[in-house]
């Protein structure tokens, strides 16, 4: 038994925040942001929208795309860094909003690698016979954990959700996966705050050593891609589409060049979405599927690098 992508879905909040808008808030410019990141705009959740709301919209679209109904889902995994609350999990809240109960539901916290972690876990559930139809959602409201006076971080992130339904199949879908983490880099990208006695201890905002993150990401994106391809006994030439975590166009293009992968096979939405962390890969995937770029039988290389550091990828046949 194998697992295969049966449907995709996504959701972006209505409000769009452009670089020109940000230039009115902090000392920055459209030219500065585009040159360093490739980002031109990002979506920001409404005051009354939380991660589970974004996840619900994306999840419902993915379920409809798969031809299933909510009651067919027997596993829910939400990858998020910005949960609705400390507990219960956003996955349990999403489960209730979908009107179903009984199946396992839990969150995965691997920051920007969260979706490839979730896909790897769901694949294990399905191939072992413990689930038949898994709903995976990456959902983020990063606007809640940004210091809007810090131009080095607030220009980078956006809100959104992307979802995938993975179903049991007699045909291979997930061809290879590799996951890694190294907590020794924890201070390079973090939100070093927590709740204690009703107060926030430390900082509740994203802190980032941009140079260290850039160098690390370019290196491990290349390394893990080669690991995955070797495990699948395939080459770069077999990859139809490369969908990395949408953090920075310079990281994405540098990785493609190191792999000698033509840039026309790189799927990028970072210019319009910004960095949506765990939501970025499924958002880019759904947009490309909906546009008809990705077709059945295409081989997709999905990769993420996030705070922790965590990193990994999945090679999947759509």
Residue positions annotated with a catalytic role: 112, 245, 275
Query: Rounded to whole angstroms, how far apart are CA atoms 6 and 126?
Result: 13
Query: Rounded to whole angstroms, how far apart are CA atoms 40 and 143?
Result: 16
Which are the contacts of 214, defined by CB distance < 8 A and separation ≥ 6? 248, 250, 251
3-state helix, strand, coil in the chain (%, to 5): 40, 30, 30
Query: Rounded to whole angstroms, how far apart are CA atoms 273 and 250?
Result: 15
Q: Got the DSSP string for 195-258?
A: EETTEEEE--S-EE-HHHHHHHHHHHHHHHHHHHHHHHT--GGG-SEEEE--S-HHHHHHHHHH
């Amino acid at each position: 038994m194998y697992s295969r992508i049966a449907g995709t879905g996504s959701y972006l909040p209505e409000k769009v925040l452009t670089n020109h808008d940000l230039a009115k808030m902090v000392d920055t410019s459209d030219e500065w942001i585009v040159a360093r990141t490739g980002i031109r705009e990002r979506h920001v959740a409404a005051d009354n929208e939380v991660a589970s709301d974004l996840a619900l919209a994306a999840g419902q679209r993915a379920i409809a795309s798969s031809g299933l109904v909510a009651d067919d889902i027997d596993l829910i995994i939400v990858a998020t860094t910005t949960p609705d609350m400390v507990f219960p999990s956003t996955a349990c809240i999403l489960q209730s909003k979908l009107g179903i109960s009984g199946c396992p539901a839990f969150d995965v916290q691997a920051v920007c690698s969260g979706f490839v972690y979730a896909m790897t876990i769901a694949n294990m559930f399905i191939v072992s016979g413990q689930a038949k139809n898994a709903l995976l959602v990456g959902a983020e409201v990063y606007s809640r954990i940004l210091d809007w006076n810090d131009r080095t971080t607030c220009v980078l992130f956006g809100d959104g959700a992307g979802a995938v339904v993975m179903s049991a199949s007699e045909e291979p879908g997930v061809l290879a996966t590799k996951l890694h983490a190294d907590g020794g880099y924890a201070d390079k990208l973090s939100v070093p705050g927590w709740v204690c006695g009703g107060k926030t201890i430390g900082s509740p905002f994203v802190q980032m050593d941009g140079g260290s993150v850039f160098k690390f990401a370019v290196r491990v994106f290349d390394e893990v891609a080669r690991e995955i391809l070797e495990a699948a006994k395939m080459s770069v030439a077999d990859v139809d589409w490369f969908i990395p975590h949408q953090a920075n166009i310079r990281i994405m293009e540098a990785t493609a060049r190191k792999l000698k992968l033509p840039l026309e096979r790189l799927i990028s939405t970072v210019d319009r979405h910004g960095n949506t962390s765990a939501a970025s890969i499924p958002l880019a995937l759904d947009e490309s599927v909906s546009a008809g770029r990705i077709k059945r039988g295409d081989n997709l290389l999905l990769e993420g690098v996030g705070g922790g550091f965590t990193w990994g990828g999945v090679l999947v046949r759509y």
